Amino acid sequence: METASRLTQADFSDLLQGMALEKGTALAVAVSGGADSLALTLLLGSWCRSQGIALTALTVDHGLRPAAAEEAQQVASWLSKYNIPHVTLTWQGDKPDSNIQDQARLARYRLMGKWCQDNGISRLFLGHHQGDQAETFLIRLFRGSGVDGLSAMKVRADFPVPLPGGASVTLCRPLLSVTKERLEASLRHLQQPWIEDPSNRNDAFTRIKVRKLLQDSDIDGLNPERLAQTAARMGRVQSLLQSLTAEVITASVTYFPHGYAEVWLEPLLAAHEEITLRALAQLTRRISGGKYAPRLKRLEALYDRLKQGDFAGQTLGGCLLSPLKENRLMISREIAAIEDEFTLEADKALLWDGRFLIEGLTAGGVVKKISQEQWRNVCQDHPVLKKMKLPKVVRDSLPCLVIDKGKVNLPDFMPGFEKKGFSALFR
């Protein structure tokens, strides 16, 4: 078998082209101690030093294996020789009895995302490689995923879990075209050992079964390179569908800063069914502040009701859909689904209900949805609010800030609060 060539520093620099990494910025990289993430960390560390960019390596101790804490210490020791700062983050609390790998992945992202937010870092690098791309494609294929699920992981992607703070964190995966064998060769060239996670040999996990299937298969074309190429082609199809969907949304949807949208149904329903379904999914996800859209069957049922022309309204995915005159539809937040209530300090930022970026507070307080009684009280002090033509279902879904002695402050897009209100930017 041909020996894999190592990834040189020049090769790695080429992989970073187009990422717009500027001198003086700070980056973070996830490192478990395995070959993939460790190779990325050392290559990225060397590149950052040459560019005047600060890098911090993050290891998550999930608390699922007794050896995990010791392994994190080993990673810290290795990286100290390369002058790469290292931080260990620990997953606290009870652990799940089932679906362990998926739950651990979500916990890992939450911990690293919060650390990045707290430390002003907007880019988190991950060591996913060509083999990971192929495994993900097969797993999603077995689960019956459509175009979006079968599309390739992206070199740059939005953060996969909601983060409470206002700052965004982007995932960066520069190694998606690189084989695992080249990464291991890079470490051997440095005479750098790595950690073998015993869970990578546990056949109870679907990903490990798929990995062995790829390793043991003698079927022509069933290999990481070919599957990664197919995933990339599906990614191009996904990009086209997203572009067509954006065009339909631009033509048919008006978003309002109060966190709702009005939809002209004629251009929306005139589009291809796939595009209309994607537009409805995107609309409900944005208005609800959720990370995921409603299930396809529910979206298809909504589509059928809208096409029939006698739509009377419904709730869906944390949204309230209300018919309007002139063949229009209003999509607002479902009030009963709003649960967020947080204490926020002055000059801090917070993403409330997944919809509003709250910042610019001159005094701390509790951020929550406004109650009927609070609305009546604030209207007594600001009669101009009574003249608003804002639908009640929208008004009752807005955030307010409750400060000392129950005094209520409203967002600065509300009449009378343009100067003294707080910033609540609809995302």
pTM given for the model: 0.84
Within-domain flag for 2: no
Alpha carbon distance 94, 107 (integer Å): 12
CA–CA gap between residue 230 and residue 347 (Å, rounded): 47
Residues 152 and 197 placed together within one structural domain of the fold: yes
Whether residue 411 sits in one domain with residue 282: no
Q: Residue 362: inside a domain, yes or no?
A: yes
Contact (CB, 8 A) for 212 and 203? yes
Domain boundary among 311, 335, 359: 335
How confident is the model at residue 96, as a pLDDT?
78
pLDDT of res. 152: 83
Do 141 and 206 lie in one domain? The reply is: yes
198 and 289 part of one domain: no
Q: Is the confidence at residue 299, as pLDDT, over 70?
A: yes
**pLDDT score for 2:** 56
Residue 222 lies in a domain: no
More confident residue, 300 or 93: 300
Is 292 a residue whose pLDDT tops 60?
yes
At 151-172, the pLDDT tens digits run 989 999 999 888 877 678 999 9
Task: Report residue 125's pLDDT band, with 50, 70 and 90 as the boundaries.
Answer: very high
pLDDT band per the 50, 70, 90 thresholds, residue 194: very high
In a domain, 4, yes or no: no
| CATH number of the domain bearing residue 71 | 3.40.50.620
Q: Which residue has the tokens 């520069």?
A: 174
Do 182 and 36 belong to one domain? yes
366 strand-pairing partners? 343, 402
Residue ranges making up the domain that contains 91: 9-216
H-run or E-run covering 243: helix 224-252
Place of tokens 């879990």: 161
360 and 328 co-located in one domain? no
Same domain for 74 and 170, yes or no, is yes
| Residues 373 and 291 placed together within one structural domain of the fold | no
| 3 belongs to a structural domain | no
Residue 210 shares a structural domain with residue 237? no
Confirm whether 259 is domain-assigned. Answer: yes
Of the candidates 335, 352, 377, which is a domain's last residue? Answer: 335
Cβ-contact 396, 376 below 8 angstroms: no
Lowest mean pLDDT among 26-30, 68-72, 215-219, 368-372: 215-219
> Do the domain assignments include residue 221?
no
Which residues partner with 253 through β-bridges? 263
Q: Do 326 and 402 share a structural domain? A: no
CATH number for the domain that contains residue 290: 1.20.59
Structural domain ending residue among the three candidates 152, 181, 216: 216
| pLDDT on residue 1 | 47
Give the span between the Cα atoms of 232 and 211, in whole angstroms: 19
Judge if 244 and 378 occupy the same domain. no
- Regarding whether 382 and 313 lie in a shared domain, the answer is no
Instruction: Say if residue 361's pLDDT is above 90.
Output: no
Cβ density class 240-256: b for 16+ within 10 Å, e for less: ebbebbeebbeebbeee
Q: Is 319 a member of any domain?
A: yes
Structure tokens at 396: 């009752």
Query: H-helix or E-strand containing 342?
Result: strand 342-344
Total tally of structural domains belonging to the chain: 3
